[in-house]
Chains A and B, each alone.
Chain A
Amino acid sequence: MKNLIKLFAVTFVSVAFAAGSLSAVEINKIHFLIPGGAGGGWDGTARGTGEALTKAGLIDSATFENMSGGGGGKAIGYMIENSKSNHGTLMVNSTPIVIRSLTKVFPQNFRDLTLIAGTIGDYAALVVPAGSSYKNFKDLVSAYKKNPESVAIGGGSVPGSMDHLVPAMAFKAAGADPTKVKYIPFDGGGKAMAGLLSGEVDALSTGFSEAVGMANSGKVRIIAVTSQDRVDAAPSAPTLIEQGYNVTFVNWRGFFAAPDLPSNMRKAYIEVLGKMYNTPEWEKVRARNGWVNIYNPGDKFMVFLAEQEKVIGDLMRELGFL
């Protein structure tokens, strides 16, 4: 009985304290929820971020939980259903949350969660073999306009996902019909690259960081990057914009919190993640993984996602995926 009273007292005090300190909270520990198994991209992002935050002393401890199922949908559902007990949890996610919500594979979308920040990203790239007759994106466009079936474009993900949408977007910007893209889906970027080198496909749509290494080895050439300006890692790779096609695309990764997260806690999470960028610990993790810092905190993140959702949604409707 005594214990029970004590418990009540503690609860009361802590509730009162929490109410009283709405204006200033400090994040001491973060529980990272990873919607996939160990070893994947989401897993690496969450664990890398947690490692940098703790080693830099920005938080005391980070814990991780892998919750696979539904291609990530289970974890989203879990965050929403158990919102109250998950104020200490950040869930990692990436561009697919936008695409999968559009295709209704996920019953919810990013608006059902509290947006914290997009933290890292990767541009997309179009790649051809070093000996290809396509010297730039314009060559590819003119071949495509003549006969779309003659340009097989490989990618590491299913039709209707990023690797498919990027060339469709680019062809559309060039005034060609985006629905005619002959997209050949491979099981992962590595096998898609093998498909390019074996001559099975004529061009490859892939992540920029994956393409850079191969381009440096001289086996392939990057004919288009979806960034605003040329990227330092591959200064010879031209952007779509400079070739006259107004297309940009970022495959982002970032963090989401429970739907009813108090606004002061949201602010605190954003602050902690923002501070992380200037630490050498983060730089070490970032360099190790070849990530690009693309920081989109809070409301900026919402604007970015809404924009991406619109662009992708329109295109997918046009391609007949929605």
Chain B
Amino acid sequence: MLDGMLLGLETAFTFQNLFFAGLGCFIGTIIGMLPGLGPMSVVAIMIPVSLQIGDPSTTLILLAGVYYGAIFGGSTSSILINAPGEAAVVATAFDGYPMARKGQAGKALTIAAISSFSGGTIGVVLLMLFAPALAGFAILFWSAEYFALMLLGLSAVSAFAGKGKVLKAVMMTLLGLMLATVGESSLFHAPRFTMGVMDLQSGINFVTLAMGLFAVPEAFFLAIDKIRSKKTGKSGAGSSKKSQEISNLRINRKEAKAIVPVIARQSIQGFLIGVMPGTGATIASFLGYAVERNLASPEEREEFGKGSIKGLAAPETANNAASTGSFVPLLTLGIPGSGTTAVLLGAFIALNLQPGPQLLQERPEVFWSIIMSMYFGNIILLVLNLPLVPYIAKLLSIPRTFLIPFVLFFAMAGAYIGQNNATELLLLLGFGVVAIILRFAEYPLPPLLIGFVLGQMFEDNLGRAMRNANGIEFVWERPMTLTLILSAVVFILFPLLRDWLVNKRKKI
């Protein structure tokens, strides 16, 4: 194995490979920042180009760079304008955007960059040391366990259920689960709840819903919120001070101390979740968020959803670690666990390489150079992103007159690009209007999106498990499933119970 690593280092650290790793990261970050183009589309777009290089290691190093670069870049729009362009960065917006609203955009972007870097790097270390050993872990779970894991992921909604909002959070989660049933599922042959509208047959597009729920209302509230704009407009001194804070990216020692354990835990947890095909970065980010909220002290917990640095660091670390983890089933078993790794598998095949156990034996230089290049790629991403933070953060200090159309344009482009379907724009508008009404009525919207994202996988896995067991016996017959389901119940009920007890004590 040591020989392999050295061979990998040798291959990865040629000028050519370093250059292409850097190029891949750069392209990935830039395109990843755009809405509507998630890692999967970015990698798919880059494959024909990268195949022109000729050398298999270099091609794959470039593509891997594009992949984690795109995940890195995806968080920017979540934080700055509350517009998550893909499912894995939804949880990033929960606390990242409130931080930006408080004028700490620079700090939020820095924390995101550092968390991503750490999650990615620790993920690579784990990948390097344990990839072959983890092959068995990757195929440990059946649909029954995945179903239980989705349930655990749904417990992330409890973060938005505080202060008499329990019922509202539950209602929004259910609405999200319902929206996820629109269209054709992978279990049935017929479209459901499409009301005869052909454009709904493939289901509701995630980006359209996310932009409609988060970005469109944001533009609306920016427009009507006159009081806030006057405040910043009047006091000239205050606004310059604010803009200074926006681009300030320093993190003090206390904050660093707070996020280090979060990053350590979420790197490992995120990586392990990423290893299992059928979960991936989205679940990892939601679970990371839920776990860290439950582990936080009561005062810190209050901060979650309102701009907690822990709440930002957790999903950002977890989704990057998970993306690295998803290379385990791809490289060791040849199984693509996500859409993006499926596209990457296509690139391997185009290069006449079959990922799987024999890749390590027959082409160790390819196997190890991909892994080694990821170290370098993560450093590049950090170096690339940190100096840019002040400039990107400045985006928020531009006048509302320009910011509002920018946000709207961003939302519309996101809804349209992936699908090339103008109906998406109407849906975007519809979701936007509903979201504005819901916000006026003080319904929390993140649970809706969590329900929607997890809904389809939740239903599919439950349906599969039930078909296989001819009933729901699997719940108690499979110990792993039972354990996960019980943890989910504890996750959901424990915070509610705790709040209730605290309230009761206060009353006495």
Contact = CB atoms under 8 A, between A and B. Distances in A.
Given A66-B420, A157-B186, A187-B186, A219 B198 contact: no
Interface in B151-206: 184-191, 198-199, 201-202
A38 B335 contact: no
Nearest to B199: A69
B346 A289 contact: yes
Contacts of A159: 187-189
B40 A217 contact: no
Contacts of A161: 189
B139 A197 contact: yes
A54 interface: no
A74 interface: yes
B277 A194 contact: yes
A190 B40 CA distance: 15
Nearest to A158: B189
Contacts of B354: 213, 216-217
B34 to A, nearest CB: 13
A259 interface: no
B143 A195 contact: yes
Interface stretch (B234-242, B337-345, B485-493): B337-345
Nearest to A194: B277
A288 B199 contact: no
Contact of A71 (B48, B51, B184, B346): B184
Interface string B336-363: 1100011101100110001011100000
A70 B202 CA distance: 6
A132 to B, nearest CB: 15
A38 B139 contact: no
Interface string B48-84: 1001000000000000000000000000000000000
Contacts of A182: 467-468
Contact of B337 (A194, A216, A219, A288): A194
B453 to A, nearest CB: 14
B189 A321 contact: yes
Contacts of A67: 420-421
A126 to B, nearest CB: 18
Contact of A194 (B48, B138, B201, B467): B138
Contacts of B335: 190, 193-194, 197
A184 B468 contact: yes
Interface string B470-501: 10000000000000000000000000000000
B142 interface: yes
Interface string B199-230: 10110000000000000000000000000000
Contacts of A218: 357-358
B198 A73 contact: yes
Most buried by A among B40, B48, B341, B470: B48
Interface string A175-193: 0000000101111101101
A134 B46 CA distance: 41
Interface string A207-220: 00000011011110
B277 A191 contact: yes
Given A74-B199, A190-B337, A105 B45 contact: no
A152 B468 contact: yes
B346 to A, nearest CB: 7
Contacts of A38: 41, 44-45, 418
Nearest to B359: A217
A166 to B, nearest CB: 16
A103 interface: yes
B278 A200 contact: no
A19 B186 CA distance: 49
Interface in B115-134: none
A158 B184 contact: yes
Given A68-B420, A157-B186, A160-B189, A200 B345 contact: no
Contacts of A74: 198-199, 421
B189 A68 contact: no
A213 B356 contact: yes
Nearest to B278: A191
A219 B356 contact: yes
Contact of B142 (A158, A185, A200, A219): A200
B143 A69 contact: no
A66 B140 CA distance: 38
A66 B41 CA distance: 13
A39 interface: yes
B321 interface: no
B141 to A, nearest CB: 7
Contacts of B333: 194, 197, 219
A37 interface: yes
Given A69-B201, A73-B201, A191-B278, A105 B190 contact: yes
Nearest to B37: A38
B334 A219 contact: yes
B432 to A, nearest CB: 20
Interface in A267-288: 287-288
Interface in A250-268: none
Contacts of A190: 277, 335-337, 341-342, 345
B199 A198 contact: no
A318 interface: no
B302 interface: no
Nearest to A103: B189
A53 to B, nearest CB: 15
Nearest to B189: A160
A149 B470 contact: yes
Contacts of B423: 69
9 contacts: A68-B202, A68-B419, A69-B201, A105-B201, A157-B186, A158-B188, A187-B186, A190-B345, A195-B142
Interface of A: 37-39, 47, 51, 65-71, 73-74, 77, 103, 105, 149, 152, 157-161, 182, 184-188, 190-191, 193-195, 197-201, 213-214, 216-219, 287-290, 321
Given A70-B201, A159-B188, 8 more contacts: A39-B41, A68-B420, A69-B199, A157-B186, A184-B468, A190-B336, A213-B334, A287-B350
